[in-house]
Amino acid sequence: MIIDAHCHIWERDLMKGDLADFIDSVIKELEVKDKEKLYDGGIERLIKDMDEGGIDKTVILPIDFEFLYTGGGFTFQAYNDLAGEYFKRFPNRIIPFAGIDPRRGAAAVGELKRCVEEMGFSGLKLWTVTGFVPDEEAYYPLYEEAARLGITILVHTGMGPGNTYLKSCRPVFVDKMAVDFREINFIMAHVGTPWVEEALAVSLKNPNVYVDISAWQGPYARFPMGFSQVLAQAKLMHGGVHKVLFGSDWPLFSEIYSQKEWVEAIKTMTFPAPLQLMGLPEITAEDKEMILGNNAVTLFQIQ
């Protein structure tokens, strides 16, 4: 089974106000030639791309953007509802997470409860690029509700859009959360790049912390050995790749690699000789299967 643990959704006619400007800025930053590949983040295209790539299930991540961007009438609750609609249409293919900013206080707790108990969501997405440091204890009521509901929390760590700040996106902030909420499984997005070693250290220290490899298509295309080194370093530190999850950040990097191409890149990844000389462990065929899906099957308790 292949599972994409990190995917975004949007529909062009819903992206208004600053959200539309955000998509345009990403197009410019990534130098996207086919703009439609970014504008179309709807369910029909997602399922089509999943089928072509042999991806069985995908985690979809609406974001609570309203502390940073205006939505032209499109709210964070409406974003969660969109994910709920997609899940209702494709319950065997979609794993929905709720996008909620913990600064909403009691309203955040209520929205999480609504998403999980009424719509069947499996997790919470914290989009730290909007400017909050996630380990502040003022946000603990939201995490206590997540623990009560038995869901996973995915935290954005590392690089964000060019008009956002890095200081709230350090992987180390997940450490305190993971210690104080041992009953919750946490996923750190993007292996925390550029703080890769910090992210791997946090996941090594805490048995309930994982990393996903979403948004690594660009680095892989430019310097494949660097990507292989990250996976080998994770295997060396953790005694295996059981903490690493496949992710794409779809549709953001689909011009670099389609879903099919990104899956194939992992399947056919070779282990460069320089890494062997450094004494790093090889990424085996079994390791690749774990990364592509088996780890997520265990994490999400998929039958």
Question: Within the chain, which residues score under 70 in pLDDT?
Answer: none
Domain 3-299 has CATH 3.40.50.12780: no
Q: Judge whether 129 and 160 are in contact, CB under 8 Å.
A: yes
> What was the pLDDT predicted at 95?
98
Segment 268-299, tens digit of pLDDT: 999 888 888 888 999 999 999 999 999 999 99
Segment 218-236, tens digit of pLDDT: 999 999 999 999 999 999 9
Q: Judge whether 152 and 299 are in contact, CB under 8 Å.
A: yes
Q: How far is CA 78 from the centre of its chain?
A: 20
Tokens of 243: 């903490």
pTM above 0.85, yes or no: yes
Q: Judge whether 243 and 203 are in contact, CB under 8 Å.
A: yes
> What was the pLDDT predicted at 17?
85
